[in-house]
Structure 1
Amino acid sequence: MREFYGYEGIHSIKFGRMKAKVNGMHRFALILGFLTLTLALLDAFQTIILPRRPVGRFRITRLFFLATWTPWVRVARLIQSSKARDQFYSFYGPLSLLLLFIVWATLLAGGYGLIFFGLHTPFSDPFHPGTLGGELRTALYVSGSTIFTLGLGDVVPATLLARALVVLEAGTGLGFVALVIGYVPVLYTAFSQREIAVALLDARAGSPPTASELLVRHSFTGGNAALIELLAEWERWCATLLETHISYPLLCYYRSQHDNQSWLAALTAILDTCALLITTVEGPATRQAQLTFAVGRHVLVDIVHVFRQESMEIGFLQQPMQRLDDDEFARLCEVLGGAGFALCGDIEAHARLQSIRRLYEPSACAMGHFLALGLPRWVPPPRDPSKRKDNWTTVADLRTPSALADRLSTHLSPLSTADHFGEDERH
């Protein structure tokens, strides 16, 4: 070998192989950088800007929630206190939003850094040791300082291409910050609109809400008209939920202010009410119940599809539905009959109710299992009448100042308020 090539020939061969290896590494870094940058920009665009359900199996946001939500649930199940566990769940939504921003920013900076490295972009770095690792560290440092527009000036691009890439990355960073600033108010506005309706349901259906309680509280004179109006409002609420929570699935992880309320429980209670009005309870609200039921079921089915819980939904569909057995149905009919509602007298009423429940209850159970949210009962359990039923105490029956003072001191004490917020009394 030495005799044929000589020492200089062997040295040139080794140098050529090493150079080819280095060039291959730069090409790999360039391709990886373009892929990372493209995936990050596309994912941020689909999540923040695109006003429809994102598509595609490989999405950074989806992988992020798969990697974080399952461990979060496992840790939460180790917490013994239900109040502390619910508080732990409530941290996930806002915290995951912040972490998602960090993931996007890291991927953008890393993508540009790999592109700088792959293009052999020269930088005037006084700390650059001249090695391959030093070149990569400099490229990542320049990318990180540029994406956040720090403008330190200690490392300066030496070519026209490098300067163009730095300007492009700075523009990307400014655009990303602008998107984040605009995204957060949109997200919290949708959350606020959702929770307003959930809070208003408290005085109308109790907390947690139940279908029987909603109907019983509308058994007064003129209650049918009020019930129709309420169902129409919830039809619009379901349509709004369909728009916001399909476009921004992150909202599904956000919990309500009170530990005995949730958007899923409220939606399920409304669907239960509509199912009763369609199959069991006679009255003028049937048509509006059908309209509200159609939109509400659409919401559940689409959200199950967004979170890819179809297999869980099929599993619940194949099991006997446990939320309303024969004894509970008999008690439900007794409560509604006692409130003055006209019930269908045929023996097929329960079968019809069972049939319509299969259209939405498996979806609700699947999402309840996935999000660790409880579903409401059909009839509230027997309870001590001296204890409050709702989160918000109604004072419509107060007549005298002394009675007002007594009721307020009893029902609106700091301990009572803290109990419904899942907190201890603060001294």
Structure 2
Amino acid sequence: MTWLSTCAGAVLVLFVLRDVFHTLWHPTRHGGLSRLAMRTVWRLSSRFGRRLRPTGLAGPIGMMTVVALWTLTVAVGWALLYWPRMPDGFTYSAGLTPEEHSGPLDALYLSLVTLATLGLGDVAPATGWLRVLGPVEALVGFALLSATVAWILGIYPALARRRALALRLSHVRRSPATAQALDSDGGAALLDGLASALSTVTVDFLQYPESYYFYDVDERTSLPGQLGYAVGLADQAARARHPDVRLSAAVLRTALEDLAAVMDERFLGAGLPPERVFAAYAADHGRDRLS
């Protein structure tokens, strides 16, 4: 029983640490637990779309769910390490009867207190290796808190860049720009800027895949609704007479294809051409693709 509980606890702790690493620090991977949680919340939000998606709550709730799962799983894992060794391996403060405070809930309480670095001291490890294990859990708790803060501070700038690109495309679409105006040096510069912004957004989707599950309420800042126009713009510029415009259009088209490949591989999995990938992306976010 002791070894079974110890192995199960160690597996849970290592599983969460691996998931945190792949979600936050590996540049091109996404942890399995975090991916499952975000997708589950996103799919549930489609059933209750009037409440979650139009208000933009699906993404934040998904992130909160991931953090809660990480914390609870780590706490349970360490509790499984403590429980078989209670009460003999621990000291208790005056007023606590060791035999009455050595159950699974007491082990979970001790794990949560240690993970949160509260250090209440009413139950403390007494034997040698347990005295080392407690501070290690506290360090993991501090690292988990720091990682969560870094995750939040990283994803919201990525969302801002995505929304800025969508708004830029909306500006171009709503401007009086004509095909003749696009066929100029200024048109080439415009296309180059859009291609550069698309490259940045593609990297953001690679490093912060959970940003896919954030719904943008304003149509002007919703990238799913604007990418169809970007495809049409690239196709229109490809027929320009100005060689720089044609070159910029080819670069823009390549940037769109790269973004579509990342979306199809990571989120949609349909093996579709870019135009249909963006249409599926817009449909998944409840948007009509603009063209």
* TM-score clears 0.5: yes
Cα offset, 1:262, TM superposition: 1.2
Report the Cα distance in structure 1 between the residues aligned to 2:39 and 2:120, rounded to whole angstroms: 37
Could you say which residue in structure 2 is the equivalent of 1:62? 35
Match of 1:166 among 134, 141, 147: 134
Q: Which structure dedicates a bigger proportion of its chain to helix?
A: 2
Match of 1:107 among 73, 96, 99: 73
Percent of paired sites with the same residue: 20
Report the Cα distance in structure 1 between the residues aligned to 2:166 and 2:282, rounded to whole angstroms: 16
Cα offset, 1:168, TM superposition: 0.3
Could you say which residue in structure 2 is the equivalent of 1:264? 224
Could you say which residue in structure 1 is the equivalent of 2:287? 373
Whether the 8 Å CA contact 1:218–1:226 is kept in 2: the answer is no
Could you say which residue in structure 2 is the equivalent of 1:364? 278
Please tell me whether Structure 1 or Structure 2 has the larger radius of gyration of its CA atoms. 1
Report the Cα distance in structure 2 between the residues aligned to 1:229 and 1:69, rounded to whole angstroms: 37
Could you say which residue in structure 1 is the equivalent of 2:162? 194
Whether the 8 Å CA contact 2:27–2:207 is kept in 1: the answer is yes
- What RMSD in Å do the two structures reach over aligned CA positions? 2.4
Q: What one-letter code is carried by the residue in structure 1 that aligns with 2:218?
A: H
Whether the 8 Å CA contact 2:228–2:279 is kept in 1: the answer is no
Q: What one-letter code is carried by the residue in structure 2 that aligns with 1:299?
A: L
Match of 1:289, SS state, is helix
Match of 1:201, SS state, is helix
Cα offset, 1:130, TM superposition: 5.0
TM-score, scaled to structure 2: 0.88
Whether the 8 Å CA contact 2:38–2:66 is kept in 1: the answer is no
Distance 1:155 1:225, change over 3 A: same
Whether the 8 Å CA contact 2:115–2:138 is kept in 1: the answer is yes
Match of 1:277 among 228, 237, 241: 237
Report the Cα distance in structure 2 between the residues aligned to 1:219 and 1:275, rounded to whole angstroms: 11
Kindly indicate whether residue 200 of structure 2 is the aligned counterpart of residue 240 of structure 1: yes
Cα offset, 1:261, TM superposition: 3.9
Q: What one-letter code is carried by the residue in structure 1 that aligns with 2:231?
A: L
Whether the 8 Å CA contact 2:33–2:66 is kept in 1: the answer is no
Whether the 8 Å CA contact 2:224–2:282 is kept in 1: the answer is yes
Report the Cα distance in structure 2 between the residues aligned to 1:127 and 1:272, rounded to whole angstroms: 74
Could you say which residue in structure 2 is the equivalent of 1:321? none
Report the Cα distance in structure 1 between the residues aligned to 2:27 and 2:39, rounded to whole angstroms: 22
Distance 1:127 1:228, change over 3 A: farther
Deviation string for 1:40-83 (max 9, x for gaps)? 1111111111122337xxx111221232221111111xx4xxxx
Kindly indicate whether residue 90 of structure 2 is the aligned counterpart of residue 123 of structure 1: yes
Could you say which residue in structure 2 is the equivalent of 1:87? 54
Deviation string for 1:135-194 (max 9, x for gaps)? 322221111001111111111112111111101001111111112222222211222222
Report the Cα distance in structure 1 between the residues aligned to 2:259 and 2:125, rounded to whole angstroms: 52
Deviation string for 1:269-327 (max 9, x for gaps)? 2122112333x5554411111111112111111122112x22xx35xx5xxxxxxxxxx
Whether the 8 Å CA contact 2:42–2:213 is kept in 1: the answer is no
Report the Cα distance in structure 2 between the residues aligned to 1:268 and 1:299, rounded to whole angstroms: 13
Could you say which residue in structure 2 is the equivalent of 1:338? none
Could you say which residue in structure 1 is the equivalent of 2:6? 30
Could you say which residue in structure 2 is the equivalent of 1:148? 116
Distance 1:108 1:193, change over 3 A: same
Whether the 8 Å CA contact 1:264–1:368 is kept in 2: the answer is yes
Report the Cα distance in structure 2 between the residues aligned to 1:179 and 1:186, rounded to whole angstroms: 10
Deviation string for 1:190-232 (max 9, x for gaps)? 22222222223332113xxxxxxx7x61446576222211111
Q: How many residues align structurally?
A: 286
Cα offset, 1:245, TM superposition: 1.0
Match of 2:185 among 210, 220, 225: 225
Any stretches of 5+ residues in structure 1 without a counterpart? 1-22, 207-213, 318-358, 379-427
Mapping of residues 199-348 of structure 1, within 5 Å: 199-206=167-174, 217-219=177-179, 224-256=184-216, 258-278=218-238, 280=239, 282-284=241-243, 285-307=245-267, 309-310=268-269, 313-314=270-271
Report the Cα distance in structure 1 between the residues aligned to 2:147 and 2:53, rounded to whole angstroms: 31
Report the Cα distance in structure 2 between the residues aligned to 1:29 and 1:111, rounded to whole angstroms: 9
More displaced stretch, 163-172 vs 63-72: 63-72
Q: What one-letter code is carried by the residue in structure 2 that aligns with 1:97?
A: M
Distance 1:221 1:360, change over 3 A: closer
Distance 1:36 1:70, change over 3 A: same
Whether the 8 Å CA contact 1:30–1:119 is kept in 2: the answer is no
Could you say which residue in structure 2 is the equivalent of 1:53? 29
Any stretches of 5+ residues in structure 2 without a counterpart? none
Cα offset, 1:370, TM superposition: 3.1
Match of 2:289, SS state, is coil
Could you say which residue in structure 2 is the equivalent of 1:185? 153
Could you say which residue in structure 2 is the equivalent of 1:343? none
